Amino acid sequence: MADAVSLKNQGNDAFKQKDWSGAIDYYTKAIEVNDKEPSFYTNRAQANIKLEAYGYAIADASKAIEIDPNFAKAYYRRAVANTLILKHSDAIHDWKAVVRKNPADKVAKAQYEACQKMVKRDAFLKAIEIADAPSAAVGLDLENMIVEDSYDGVRLKDEMTQEFLDDMTERFKTGKKLHRKYVFQIILAVKDLVYAEATMVETEVAPDHMLTVCGDTHGQYFDLLEIFRLNGFPSQKHGYLFNGDFVDRGSWSTEIALLLYAYKMMYPKFFFLNRGNHETDDMNRMYGFEGECKAKYNERVFKLFSESFSALPLATLIGSKYLTLHGGLFSDDAITLDDIRKLNRHNQRQPGQAGLMMEMLWTDPQTMPGRGPSKRGVGLQFGPDVTKRFCEKNGLEAVIRSHEVRMEGYEVEHDGRCITVFSAPKYCDSTENKGAYINIESDYKLQFNKFDAVPHPDIKPMAYANNSMMSMM
């Protein structure tokens, strides 16, 4: 037991240094020495929560409960993990157990009450869901919407201009907003553009052109600008593909979404946007984007963004060599590129808990062959053999995906056939990772580039998320 406690203490030290993976290694070694101590599992659960491995956290908490059914911290960890993957109906039972065991715990009581509200809200939203609900644009008279003389920004007419883009970029740096008319105008224009695109966009890189693939940006506006500063701004010869998760967590999500949308307006044939798992209503309600839209603009802006997110393509095929999608591969080896081409994403606005769309947005690679349960608690994991079969069957060199923090900003896995790129350095101000982006020229060689986080104004991540979420992060 002394050896196990020593390993646990080393894990605690690593955790304090924000070395979540190192902490997990020590907690795992402690468990190998003594697998009957529940606190080792709850400590590892907390480190897994930090790594967004919520499925693993739930498994660890459940094991701790199996060892000691009265261990309140284990119920707390499992409740947090289920809440963070939006499984409120599962979380509520554990919050109730924590309150019952520790009736004086005000934080747990507040979480239980918040979870009750979420369960009721989810039921209400499901009850009023209408398949063909009218657009939030109905009744929006942009033509007659007045931009007041006091507005100090560049005016936008029918077409996006470089002058407007430059002004917008600077406005956002200094905390200024766009006029709501222009916000509506940009969202509606891009919604129409992306709606008309295929579910899997197919593009080539012409001679003397370059395409840059970026991963998650998660509302880290100043780090997005750092990519452009280092790598060049979008142009007709320098295209960009942003591979989902533009929003949530970071507190400049509206700024990122609007800037990316403005570039899509400017260069519709050279600037591409794939949908991520955070371009969905349930994630936006929990992780801050809905609250940010309401705080900076209004609820209608969020609803229009939601409609535009559901219109986004789910994948981009680059030069018939690289399938680029946010999450990863599938539960069935029979799935091909043609199945993605045939998928009518407009019939299903939200990805749900199963099916092709969900898997494209949520799955992750694993080192072991075959398929396994998701460490996130949503979707699944796929091994190198799955990737190899998919690439060979579809004539691909590799799959490029995002969706996960990588400490160097990117990682090449599965014998070079699965590449993860993540473009939010120092993620949530709490993980000491680099960001990365991939440049692809007409020879289709992948050029990996890493970059560090840059300073930003003193606004914390998750500033617009609900208060109960903040206390769990």
Asked if residue 207 and residue 95 are part of one domain, the reply reads: no
Q: In terms of residue numbers, what domain contains 258?
A: 162-472
Asked if residue 234 and residue 97 are part of one domain, the reply reads: no
Instruction: Give me the number of domains the chain comprises.
Output: 2
List, by residue number, the catalytic residues: 278
Task: Report angle CA 387, 390, 394 to the nearest 5 degrees.
Answer: 140
Asked if residue 299 and residue 356 are part of one domain, the reply reads: yes
Show Cβ contacts of residue 117 under 8 Å, excluding neighbours closer than 6 positions. none
Q: Rounded to whole angstroms, what are the CA distances from 189 to 75, 259, 268?
A: 47, 13, 11
Per-residue b/e over 224-258, b at no fewer than 16 CB within 10 Å?
bbbbeeebeebbeebbbbbbbbbbbbbbbbbbbbb
Tell me, yes or no, whether 156 lies in a domain: no
Asked if residue 198 and residue 100 are part of one domain, the reply reads: no
Tell me, yes or no, whether 147 lies in a domain: no
Tell me, yes or no, whether 423 lies in a domain: yes
| Per-residue pLDDT tens listing for the chain (473 residues) | 899 999 999 999 999 998 999 999 999 999 999 999 999 999 999 999 999 999 999 999 999 999 999 999 999 999 999 999 888 889 999 999 999 999 998 888 988 888 888 888 878 777 766 666 789 999 999 999 999 999 999 999 999 999 999 999 999 999 999 999 999 999 999 999 999 999 999 999 999 999 999 999 999 999 999 999 999 999 999 999 999 999 999 999 999 999 999 999 999 999 999 999 999 999 999 999 999 999 999 999 999 999 999 999 999 999 999 999 999 999 999 999 999 999 999 988 888 788 999 999 999 999 999 999 999 988 899 999 999 999 999 999 999 999 999 999 999 999 999 999 999 999 999 888 999 999 999 999 999 999 999 999 999 999 998 655 555 55
Tell me, yes or no, whether 353 lies in a domain: yes
Residue recorded with tokens 């400490």 = 407
Of 363, 377, 376, the C-alpha closest to 331 is: 363
Asked if residue 315 and residue 392 are part of one domain, the reply reads: yes
Asked if residue 176 and residue 118 are part of one domain, the reply reads: no
CATH number at residue 251: 3.60.21.10
Asked if residue 303 and residue 370 are part of one domain, the reply reads: yes
Asked if residue 208 and residue 120 are part of one domain, the reply reads: no
Tell me, yes or no, whether 37 lies in a domain: yes
Write down which residue in 80, 110, 128 finishes a domain. 128
pLDDT at 471 (0 to 100)? 56
Q: Which two tokens stand for residue 145?
A: 């919407």
Q: How many CB atoms are closer than 10 A to CB 206? A: 13
Q: Which two tokens stand for residue 452?
A: 């560090």
pLDDT at 454 (0 to 100)? 98
CA pair distance 148, 152, nearest whole angstrom:
9
Asked if residue 166 and residue 115 are part of one domain, the reply reads: no
Q: pLDDT tens digits for 34-83?
A: 999 999 999 999 999 999 999 999 999 999 999 999 999 999 999 999 99
